[in-house]
Amino acid sequence: MSTSSVTTSSAAWHQCTVAQLGAALRAREVSAVELAGHFLQRMAEYADLGAFLATDHEATLAQARAADARLAQGDAPLLTGVPLAHKDIFVTKDFPTTAGSRMLVGYQSPFDSTVVSKLAHEGMVCLGKLSCDEFAMGSANENSAFGAVKNPWDVARVPGGSSGGSAAAVAARLTPAATGTDTGGSIRQPASFCGLTGIKPTYGRASRYGMIAFASSLDQAGPMARTAEDCALLLSAMCGPDLERDSTSLDVPVENFAQGLNQSLEGLRIGLPQEFFGDGLSADVRAALEGALAELKKLGATVVDIHLPRTELAIPVYYVIAPAEASSNLSRYDGVKFGHRTQNYTDLEDMYKKTRAEGFGDEVKRRIMTGTYVLSHGYYDAYYLQAQKIRRLIADDFQAAFKTCDVIAGPVAPTVAWPLGAHGSDPLADYLADIYTLPASLAGLPGMSVPAGFGAHGMPVGLQLIGNYLQEGRLLNVAHRLQQATDWHQRVPEGF
């Protein structure tokens, strides 16, 4: 269905894109209340996927009624009345926020995060909060304190993480769009595993205010949807300076990314890092990527070989820096001011210990311990300082590569989504699966995943696109042109 053709039966609204729903609402073909009710019904029907952690029908319908009133007045933004859901890492005043952790059970924020408030300002209607790995720490959404999320393409497999709830909900058509966060690949990898489009913008493009912190120098918000056009609309709404509340926010104007779509790809130079196409990449993923790259060549792009020589160092560097920052950020969860507090304790120190032991899951404890160790006296210089130096060298590798190419392309993950529980006894397997997404995160570059076909067991494969700083528009255009020439992004998991 094209954006210009949106008339449909009420039973098929969930098959429409964000752009199509926005047009239908403005044409008064459907009301925001009707749309909200339609998606709330689907959410209940497919609750066993485990995608949602919190819903409030009254709050959702109240937002929908406000959107309808705004639409009736005319001149409402395109996104007004369109439903979406938020990863449970963004605080929300109308819904509880847990970050997927027992530590925050019962917590209700008195304010909205900047990303949430920006999308609400556009008139979007929140359907609820989506599951994620605890404090966004994980690659499979199996680390949530409230159970694993299932991949709609195969419910025996993981949806990816940490934004697995967001990916599963969009793939199952429970919401047309969702927010996610990406610290080391947590938008791109679940988008790849679930056949979606997802983009992590340049670090600082979207405010981190009200986004529960994992690793502050890496965390970045972004949208997940079915098309590049939808992500362009959402990203424009999410981004913008927030200097008073986020010191890492970039002082750059908001762009209308949707206006930059449909540009020719003639002469576009796509760099293929040789380090991304080694023995660690499975044959089925490689074949899918070659098919997508062939389509881009037909559209006028050329392919050049490049090198990112420090790719293998991204894993040890990330798993020093990110746990170090997590150790610091999570020290605030001590049972004193908010969140979980143990029931039985003898003194303050005992309360701290028992509260944190009960509230945090195994993976969070593992990363806190690692981070505390690398920051400790005698090890800071050997580990943390060295990791920061190599991080700069990884960023320099990208800048050298961009001298000979405009966009970098490669895999998102070495394999398709793996079975639930497959990595349960080996956390390092999850870490190694992030090899292709970590470098761009460490460099603060924009990166996205675009559906690129299917691999083993009929599971989706994503093509990763990486751009230079503030080049989100170029990435979205490449993805949009690819989606105009292919139908991978239009495929629907069986039964949804």
Could you list the active site residues? Answer: 87, 162, 186
CA distance 184 to 434: 7
Nearest to 466 by CA among 205, 322, 272: 272
List Cα–Cα distances, 144 to 103, 349, 432, in angstroms: 11, 27, 20
Q: State the number of CA atoms in the 13 A half-sphere of 455 facing the CB.
A: 29
**Order of strands, sheet of 177-182, starting from the edge strand that comes earlier in the sequence:** 52-54, 125-130, 83-87, 177-182, 220-225, 197-200, 447-454, 460-466, 407-411, 269-273, 302-306
Cis? peptide before 376, omega within 30° of 0: no
CB 183 within 8 A of CB 87: no
How does strand 269-273 pair with strand 407-411? Answer: parallel
Alpha helices in 273-385 (DSSP H): 283-298, 314-329, 348-359, 362-375
In this structure, what token pair is assigned to residue 412? 């998102």
- What length is written for the chain? 496
CA distance 353 to 52: 30
Computed over its alpha carbons, how large is the radius of gyration of the chain? 21
Instruction: Give the type of residue at 341.
Output: R
CA distance 280 to 251: 39
In this structure, what token pair is assigned to residue 109? 């924020």
- Sign of the Cα pseudo-torsion (20, 22, 23, 27, in order): positive
CB 417 within 8 A of CB 284: no
3-state DSSP of 431-465 = HHCCCCCHHHHHHCCCEEEEEEEECHHHCEEEEEE
